[in-house]
A and B are shown apart, each in its own frame.
Chain A
Amino acid sequence: MAGLRRWASFLLLAAGLFLGLRLLHVGLPLVSPQVPAAPRRLADPALARRYTGFSAWLPFYRPAKLGARPVEVVVTHRPDPALHVVWRGERFLVLDQRRRAPSPPAAARPLAGRPGAVEWQEGAVRRAQLRAGDLVIDVATDLELADLERLVASLTPVERLR
């Protein structure tokens, strides 16, 4: 009986400590935006800097077919901070921005309008990749090539768009 009581006292201590750890787990991302947590949806790409440490780059040129506003702005933290912005109207556009990304395939061709940018086709999806400051931006869309060129050429940090 004494043994059981001692085990119960251990369980009580464990419950207290684990509760404290859980509070830390939930509370730390609220206290500090740089603490990685589950993917975080943002209302505005301009808020991304607070969570990722870098400014979102958005296209100044956006065909009306993409819709008025992005439908999804998500920040993830693993393995590195990354921003994922999606427009979806009649056509779609996905921008992935992060500091490290896989290299484009060997078949990628230079994209007119922005030095260093490349584009390639994957089925119905047209893809592009470019460097912007210390970021790598991956673009995926079903827009025409001419639209993609203009869109990539107009990519600008969000602060300068306002």
Chain B
Amino acid sequence: MPACWTSPAGAYLWQVALHSAVAGLLLYAWWRRLPRPGAAVGRRLLALLLLLPLATALVPGRSSFEFREERAWFDGLRLLALPLGGALAVHHLATGAAALALLATVLQEVAPVVRRRSRRRLPAPQTLVLRARALPGWERCAVEVSEEPALRVVTTGWPGRPRLRVSHAALAALSAPSLAAVLRHEHAHWVRGRWWRDHLLFVARLVQAHNPVALWVFREYLVEREIGCDREAVGEGDPAPLVAALLVLYESTDRRDVAARAVLRRRIDLLLGRSRRGDEDPPPRTLLAVALTLALLLPWLV
């Protein structure tokens, strides 16, 4: 067993992944047993799953040999040392999984940002600028058109200084009502503290770049976030313009990208009311009790 697994940094990273896996399994099983869970409980549980392991793995005084052997409820090093045949042991598998998760983090989270930054930018049409700046809180919004072949409408920047970037292809493909609905969707990312929440969770995700559970949890969180912003963009109005925009995006997405197309289909179905979500979210104090229970239990796993 390489010594890096018992070094302070190695032990912390391992415990983050272990706590994340155990909490993920528990929360998923619990969520499945809820009668008709709504969207909010899903988002809160996913956020809890991203943040809590970073704290529980930090609880001090648990790295000593005595704690592992005499007080810990479960010592993960026993599992990691389990031989799999030949010179292979479970810790080799764990290292491989961590390396794959790290690679996925670079490809999914870091590379798109670098790619976006390198695109050439064109001046935005005045109508688009006016429409964006008419949205509440976006009076100082910078608007750019990027020269890229993909349909893309994204926002970057900081609260108080948002930056809307629309690809040339999106401008050409979307009708005026669809573009307005997409702008309302992007605007929804900046209200109700979503920007801060998303960025906090993004940082938590980057810290857990090695953690395959965090990889899955953050993807699920992003899907839930998009669904929430869709709902807010449509409000009580007609979902058709946003659905039309999503359909254009669906058609332009590579057929091999099954996951992205499935998410778009799900968003469209929810907007059209073809599939319904539950509305029986457990009260916040139940979620708090669950979070506290996990916070008390997880530090006993090392």
Query: Could you list which residues of chain A lie within 8 angstroms of chain B, going by C-beta atoms?
Result: 2-4, 6-7, 9-11, 13-14, 17-18, 21-22, 24-25, 28-29, 31-32, 34-38, 78-80
Residues on A with beta carbons closer than 8 Å to the beta carbon of B3: 79-80
Residues on A with beta carbons closer than 8 Å to the beta carbon of B22: 17, 21
Residues on B with beta carbons closer than 8 Å to the beta carbon of A4: 286
Q: Is the CB of B283 within 8 A of A3?
A: yes
Q: Is the CB of A24 within 8 A of B6?
A: no
Q: Is the CB of B286 within 8 A of A7?
A: yes
Q: Is the CB of B290 within 8 A of A28?
A: no
Tell me the nearest residue of chain A to B289, going by C-beta. Answer: A7
Count residues on chain B whose CB falls below 8 Å from chain A CBs. 35
Residues on A with beta carbons closer than 8 Å to the beta carbon of B285: 3
CB distance from B193 to the nearest CB of A (A): 25
Bound Cα distance A10, B296 (Å): 14
Which parts of B33-69 form the interface with A (CB within 8 Å)?
Answer: 33-34, 65, 68-69
Q: Is the CB of A78 within 8 A of B6?
A: yes
Stretch at the interface among B74-82, B114-122, B158-166, B249-257: B74-82
Contacts A25-B75, A34-B83, A79-B6 known; 8 new A-B pairs at CB < 8 A: A3-B289, A6-B282, A10-B290, A13-B33, A14-B26, A14-B294, A14-B297, A35-B82
Task: Indicate if B126 sits at the interface (CB-CB under 8 A).
Answer: no
Tell me the nearest residue of chain A to B282, going by C-beta. Answer: A6
Residues on B with beta carbons closer than 8 Å to the beta carbon of A37: 69, 78
Q: Is the CB of B297 within 8 A of A18?
A: yes
Task: Indicate if B171 sits at the interface (CB-CB under 8 A).
Answer: no
Residues on A with beta carbons closer than 8 Å to the beta carbon of B203: none
CB distance from A38 to the nearest CB of B (A): 5
CB distance from A11 to the nearest CB of B (A): 7
Which parts of B259-277 form the interface with A (CB within 8 Å)?
Answer: none
Q: Is the CB of A21 within 8 A of B74?
A: yes
